A and B are shown apart, each in its own frame.
Chain A
Amino acid sequence: MKILVAVKRVVDFNVAIRVKADGSGVDIGNAKMSMNPFDEIGVEEAVRLKEAGKATEVVVVSIGPAQVQETLRTALAMGADRAILVKHEDYVEPLGVAKVLKEVVTAEKPDIVILGKQAIDDDCNQTGQMLAALLGWPQGTFASKIDIEESTLTVVREADGGLQTVRLRMPTIVTTDLRLNEPRYASLPNIMKAKKKPCDEMTPADYGVDVKPRLKLIKTEEPSKRQAGVKVCSASELAAKLKETGAIR
C-alpha cells in the first residue's frame, strides 16, 4: 500500500499578514513559512499507517518555488520516504494543483492520496475534491478518523451536524480535518536522516500540465476594522447594555 501526501508551503498560522498598499496582493515579505497545518496532519496520518504496517511507502509532493524543498524536508523528517518537488514560481490555483497531482498519481499509482482540507492562505478548500473528480475516484473529505479494510476505506467525516461515516472504494482521496491526529515534531536525528532521502525535481511542463490561472485578481484590500468598545464592570451592566442595543429583549 502506497500513500501520496500533498503538502503546501504557507505563511505560518501565527503570522499576521499585511495587504500591499497598491492593492496588488498580500505582502508576505520575510514572513515565517511553514507546512500548511492540515498537511502536517496528512503526513502524520500516512506515517502512522506505515508504522502500523498498513502502508509500505509514503511519498510527499509539493508544487511551488524552490523553497518548498524545505517543507518537503520537514515531511521527510516526520517519516515520509521520498519527495517530489514540482517547481513553479507563481501561485498555482487549486485546479492547476489538482491537474499536476493527477499526473503524479498516474506515475506513482498510490492507493490513497491525502491532502489537507484547506490551505490556510487561499482558504479555498477545493484541491482534494478536484483531484478526486479528475481521477474519477471517491473522496473522503474533512476526515477525523480513517480505517483501512482490504479494498475499502471507512472515513468518519466532520459534518455540519456532527460526524458522518462513509465507506469508499480504493484507490481514494482523503482530506484531513483538525481532529484526525496530532502531528509529531521531527527529532534532530530524523532531521539529519531526512537530508539523505531522495527528492525528485519536476515542472508542470514535464507533466504536460498548463497551470495558467483562471481567476484574474482585480484587487486585494484590508478588511474593515472593528473598534474596541467599552468595558463594563459587571454581568448585570453587560445585560443592561445588551438590552439597550436592542440585540436582546
Chain B
Amino acid sequence: MTVLLIAEHDNASLKEATHKALSAAAKVGGDIHVLVAGYQAAAAAEHAAKLTGVTRVLHIDAAELERPLAEPMAANIVALAADYDHIVAPATNNGKNYMPRVAAMLDVMQVSEVSDVKAADIFVRLIYAGNAVQTVQATDAKKVITVRIASFPPASETGNAVVGRKEAVADPGLSSYVGETISRSDLPELTSAKVVISGGRGMQSGENFKLLEAVARKLNAAVGASRAAVDAGFVSNDYQVGQTGKVVAPELYIAVGISGAIQHLAGMKDSKIIAAINNDQDAPIFQVADFGLVADLFEALPQLEKAL
C-alpha cells in the first residue's frame, strides 16, 4: 500500500500543514510519497525529502502550478493516481479547492477534513459545526482524504528521501491567475501559532485591533477574528476562525469581544486552554473558557498587555 501526500508549500519551502497531514498519512500505514507540484520549487522538494517516513518525493515543475490553480493541479494528481491507494492533502484553502476535483475525476467520494484515522479505510470527521463526530468507512477502491490540520501534530524532519522529477501534464487551460491581495503581518501565522488571540464584534473597529496586536506581540501570538469582525470589515477574510473559516487548536486561545456562537466554537474549541474577555457575564464563550474575565475589553486589553 502506498500513500501519495500532496505538499502545501510556497515553492521555497513546505508549509507546516504538510507536516501535520503527514502525521495523518502515517496512521494509514504503508509507504508514503510526497508530491511537490509547483514552479521553481526545487527547494520545497528538497525540504520534502527531509520529512520523517517519506520514501520518495515527486517534483513537478510548471508555471501554472505556482499558486496553484485547481484545474492543472487536479490534472497532475490524477495522472499519478494509478500508483496509489490513498491520496492525502491538508485541508488548507488549496487542498479544499483541488482535492474534491481529484476525487470526482477518479469517481471517488472524498472524506473531508478527517480528524482521526482509525484504519486504512476508516476515518473520523466532524459534522454540524463540530456538534457530532462521525466515523465512516470509505468503500471506494481509492481513498481521497483531506486532513484537518489542527487535529494532528507536525511530523519531524529526520528523513532523506530521493527526489525524482515528473513531467507536468498539459495545462487544461481553463483558468488563469490574475493577482492577489495578501494581508501581511509580522505576527505568526494563524494555523501554526502556539497562542492565538481573536477579536469579535466587540472590538468595534479595525483600528481597535491594535489593542489585540499589542498583546499578541508580547505573546508571539497570531491574531484571529470572528465572522462578525470580518463581515464588518475590521480585518480581512483570512482572519476568520470557525466552522467556515480556519480551524485552530493552539496551546492558548484568547477570545476578546466574541460571544461564542457554535460556528465560532467549531474553529477553536480544541484549543488546550481557552481564555475569554467579555463584558456580558452570560456570554456563551464562558461555558467553554478555562479562564473568564467579565470586563470591558478596552480597559482589560491594555492592562493585560502590561501584566504580561
Q: Would you list which residues of chain B between 162 and 202 have a CB under 8 Å from chain A?
A: 172-183, 195
Which among A93, A124, A161 has the greatest number of chain B C-beta atoms within 10 A? A161
Which among A177, A228, A242 has the greatest number of chain B C-beta atoms within 10 A? A242
Chain A residues with CB below 8 A from B307, complex form? 235-236, 238-240
Which among B92, B178, B219, B291 has the greatest number of chain A C-beta atoms within 10 A? B291
| Chain A min CB distance to B106 (Å) | 9
Q: Would you list which residues of chain B between 93 and 141 have a CB under 8 Å from chain A?
A: 93-94, 96-105, 107-113, 122, 125-140
CA distance A166 to B131 in the complex (A): 35
User: A125-B112, A138-B175 known; A120 and B129 CB under 8 Å?
Assistant: yes
Size bracket, chain A contacts: 35 or more
CA distance A121 to B306 in the complex (A): 43
A162 at the interface (CB under 8 A from B): yes
CB–CB A19/B132 < 8 A: yes
Chain A residues with CB below 8 A from B3, complex form? none
| Chain B min CB distance to A152 (Å) | 9
B294 at the interface (CB under 8 A from A): yes
Which residue of chain A is the closest to B218 with respect to CB atoms?
Answer: A248
Chain B residues with CB below 8 A from A236, complex form? 303-304, 306-307
Q: Would you list which residues of chain A between 1 and 51 have a CB under 8 Å from chain B?
A: 11, 13, 16-17, 19, 26, 38
User: A158-B238, A242-B291 known; A215 and B244 CB under 8 Å?
Assistant: no
User: A164-B180, A234-B293, A247-B251 known; A137 and B174 CB under 8 Å?
Assistant: yes
Chain A residues with CB below 8 A from B70, complex form? 129, 132, 138-139, 141
Chain A residues with CB below 8 A from B111, complex form? 215
Q: Would you list which residues of chain B between 262 and 308 have a CB under 8 Å from chain A?
A: 262-263, 269, 272-275, 277, 281, 286-295, 299-301, 303-304, 306-308
CA distance A128 to B98 in the complex (A): 11
B50 at the interface (CB under 8 A from A): no
**Secondary structure of the B contact surface, majority rule:** mixed
CB–CB B304/A142 < 8 A: no
CA distance A23 to B119 in the complex (A): 19
Chain A residues with CB below 8 A from B71, complex form? 138-139
B69 at the interface (CB under 8 A from A): yes
B230 at the interface (CB under 8 A from A): yes
Chain A residues with CB below 8 A from B263, complex form? 13
Which residue of chain B is the closest to A140 with respect to CB atoms?
Answer: B175
CB–CB A122/B109 < 8 A: no
CA distance A165 to B300 in the complex (A): 39
B20 at the interface (CB under 8 A from A): no
Which residue of chain B is the closest to A20 with respect to CB atoms?
Answer: B132
Interface bits B58-96 vs A (CB < 8 Å: 1, else 0)? 000000000101110010000000000000000011101
CA distance A36 to B241 in the complex (A): 20
Chain A residues with CB below 8 A from B133, complex form? 220-223
Chain B residues with CB below 8 A from A128, complex form? 100
CB–CB B100/A177 < 8 A: no
CA distance A245 to B122 in the complex (A): 36
CB–CB A138/B174 < 8 A: yes
- Contact for A154 among B102, B178, B230, B291, CB less than 8 A: B178
A52 at the interface (CB under 8 A from B): no
User: A166-B69, A166-B176 known; A95 and B103 CB under 8 Å?
Assistant: yes
CB–CB A215/B237 < 8 A: no
